Structure 1
């Protein structure tokens, strides 16, 4: 009877021992099947953006240089100030320039007086010559005496002509002096924004001195580089001309240095079409309107060029990992087991997604969460719903 009682007591223990391994197996299986996000690959139409670093400049940046040498006596504007056409920017010392004008004017006045005297001498010599001609005709004076009066007249005319040439030179000197005096006031040739001003009052400046740069920033020009692959993509592998590609290109956007998108779209206006062998790229330019004057010459940013791609397989870059310059994804089979597979992607991407050109087919599923961190080959997962 004792034996029967012992057997009866052992039965629950044995049953519990059988149940516990079964529960443990189920728990381990659940732990080995983490819940992860998956994506079913499909073909779709999408627009990708390629970002190109750029430096901005005004549509018309004008270097302001003095046309005369002298000391700056007045700086009339501040850096960053908006100015109108004809507005005074700088004034150069006018004392010596005004003195040059006064001296040139005095020379003109003296030359005019000399011309008046020379003209009077010509008139007198002509009267004397005419009188002597009448006397010669009446045989009152000799021919040599008459010739003397003719020579005197010719000499007076020559002196008058020489004096007139002097007044011409004096007038030219006066015009030059007045022009230099006018150049002492440096004005804005166009409306725009004043750039850096390296010279201040008291500085000696000359025509080689860059006083500032005046930027007409109503429109801003963004210059950037396009590599050979970018150009081939824009021209459909050379099937159409650059001019045609530019004309049909959609608007581009600008990302500012702080990461924010500028709120006015732009337009690509030119692509050089000549590949620089040292850089492997061509120069492109885009124009962005700047109605609020927010953009300035020298600003940096990124020009974003959109390209429409039809019937492509697009996957997140976060769903891939790299090994030996190759890209891989984890493909999920019907049993929810994952297996790594190498794929090929297009060169162009937007920094967030890849266009798959090989290694995957529409309808296949890939893991998009934990790739390169917790996912490994032959792992069984539970796809997130």
Structure 2
């Protein structure tokens, strides 16, 4: 019978080494767990987002008429002041041009003289008729008298035409408003000599019951808007005033230029707005807002992204708490602090929000969930989305 002898000393030493090894492994695992950093993450969900594309505009009244004199003369009276509202036909300026008054008197006298000649010619005919019948004078003299009457009538007509022309010229000494509206600047003062050839108008009259908002868009933007129907006159547009408040009237796109401006490579667009309170004036600047609705999009702060060679990327967290770099397609929001993601994300994805410069694909992290309402860059947009969907 074979006997097995156990060396208790060796066994005790082996157990000691094994326990020591287990203790070291346990400490390493604990150290590894402690080395996993915490990162704030956002679990995304799709939304219908109302986005605005903004463009600077120049405001003009629907009627913006420059006033020029039609005759030469000295400004005798100015009946209006800058900023006044005038009615159509109201006198704006009076010119001192005495030659036109003299011409009017002269042509009026010429009419009186021509009428007298007509009367005399008619009398001559009446005298000649019975004498011709009695053959006292020849028929030739009657024909001559009739021709004299025809010539006298023609002279009268010419005199009347001259008077009408003189009357028009005299009327031009009173310059009236062609439309109702507001008066612009008044560069010429009393006594200034003006004529139809002056380079700067006497003033401008602007009808601003409705106003035009002019702006330009490049070819790429035009194609985007045309495909989405944003340039249709069925869509309402908004106007942001220089004090960053919204104008209280909605407008509509009215026209888009039929061809590209060769110098700027852009299309010229005109929108129209009602202006019942006359708040907008010709020459005002503002910003037009064209609404654009994006369905099924995701909203993330811009700080959660990074760029490589023109592409935009985020880090997503998988089920093993590991991050992975993912390319996304984005559209900037009006605030400039957030992105609308239209491709690259799906509902439930976890996006790392901050500290992404120290990450790389495959790195394990500990996630801390953050609500959208707690992210300041998204709050305003979320409120807009909420109000739009109600």
CA distance in 1, matches of 2:178, 2:325: 66
Cα deviation, 1:50-98, whole Å, max 9, x if unaligned, reads 0012111111222222222222212211222111122111111142221
User: 1:115/1:255 Cα in 2 relative to 1: closer, same or farther (>3 Å)?
Assistant: same
Q: Given the two structures, how large is their TM-score scaled by the length of structure 1?
A: 0.76
**Contact preservation (8 Å) 1:339, 1:377:** no
| 1:381 Cα deviation from its structure 2 partner | 6.9
Query: For residue 55 of structure 1, what is the aligned residue in structure 2?
Result: 58
SS at match of 2:294: strand
User: 1:204/1:338 Cα in 2 relative to 1: closer, same or farther (>3 Å)?
Assistant: farther
CA distance in 1, matches of 2:302, 2:262: 31
| 1:273 Cα deviation from its structure 2 partner | 5.1
SS at match of 1:252: strand
User: 1:199/1:276 Cα in 2 relative to 1: closer, same or farther (>3 Å)?
Assistant: same
Q: How does 1:101-112 map to 2 (within 5 A)?
A: 101-112=104-115
CA distance in 2, matches of 1:247, 1:176: 47
CA distance in 1, matches of 2:192, 2:348: 74
CA distance in 2, matches of 1:173, 1:230: 59
**Contact preservation (8 Å) 2:47, 2:297:** yes
User: 1:265/1:339 Cα in 2 relative to 1: closer, same or farther (>3 Å)?
Assistant: same
User: 1:271/1:164 Cα in 2 relative to 1: closer, same or farther (>3 Å)?
Assistant: same
Query: For residue 4 of structure 2, what is the aligned residue in structure 1?
Result: none
Q: How does 1:329-344 map to 2 (within 5 A)?
A: 329-332=314-317, 341-344=326-329
Query: For residue 81 of structure 1, what is the aligned residue in structure 2?
Result: 84
Query: For residue 226 of structure 1, what is the aligned residue in structure 2?
Result: 217
Cα deviation, 1:90-125, whole Å, max 9, x if unaligned, reads 111142221111111111112222222333333333
**Contact preservation (8 Å) 1:336, 1:383:** no
User: 1:76/1:39 Cα in 2 relative to 1: closer, same or farther (>3 Å)?
Assistant: farther
| 1:278 Cα deviation from its structure 2 partner | 4.6
Query: For residue 160 of structure 1, what is the aligned residue in structure 2?
Result: 149
| 1:233 Cα deviation from its structure 2 partner | 3.6
**CA RMSD in angstroms, aligned pairs only:** 3.1
Alignment gaps of 5+ in structure 2: 1-26, 371-390
CA distance in 2, matches of 1:279, 1:384: 48
Alignment gaps of 5+ in structure 1: 1-21, 134-145
Which of 80, 91, 96 aligns to 1:93? It is: 96
Q: How does 1:137-216 map to 2 (within 5 A)?
A: 146-147=137-138, 150-209=139-198, 210-216=201-207
User: 1:272/1:211 Cα in 2 relative to 1: closer, same or farther (>3 Å)?
Assistant: same
Query: For residue 264 of structure 1, what is the aligned residue in structure 2?
Result: 249
Matched, 1:122 2:147: no
**Contact preservation (8 Å) 1:92, 1:184:** yes
**Is 356-365 or 93-102 further displaced after alignment?**
356-365
CA distance in 2, matches of 1:76, 1:335: 84
SS at match of 1:132: coil
CA distance in 1, matches of 2:267, 2:146: 70
CA distance in 2, matches of 1:332, 1:34: 12
CA distance in 2, matches of 1:383, 1:256: 42
SS at match of 2:280: coil
Matched, 1:71 2:74: yes
Matched, 1:298 2:287: no
User: 1:73/1:370 Cα in 2 relative to 1: closer, same or farther (>3 Å)?
Assistant: farther
Matched, 1:376 2:358: yes
**Contact preservation (8 Å) 2:208, 2:278:** yes
Q: How does 1:277-288 map to 2 (within 5 A)?
A: 278-288=263-273
**Contact preservation (8 Å) 1:246, 1:270:** no
Cα deviation, 1:314-361, whole Å, max 9, x if unaligned, reads 323343344443323344556777665443324x75353433244433
**Is 167-176 or 70-79 further displaced after alignment?**
70-79
CA distance in 2, matches of 1:131, 1:317: 116
Q: Given the two structures, how large is their TM-score scaled by the length of structure 2?
A: 0.75
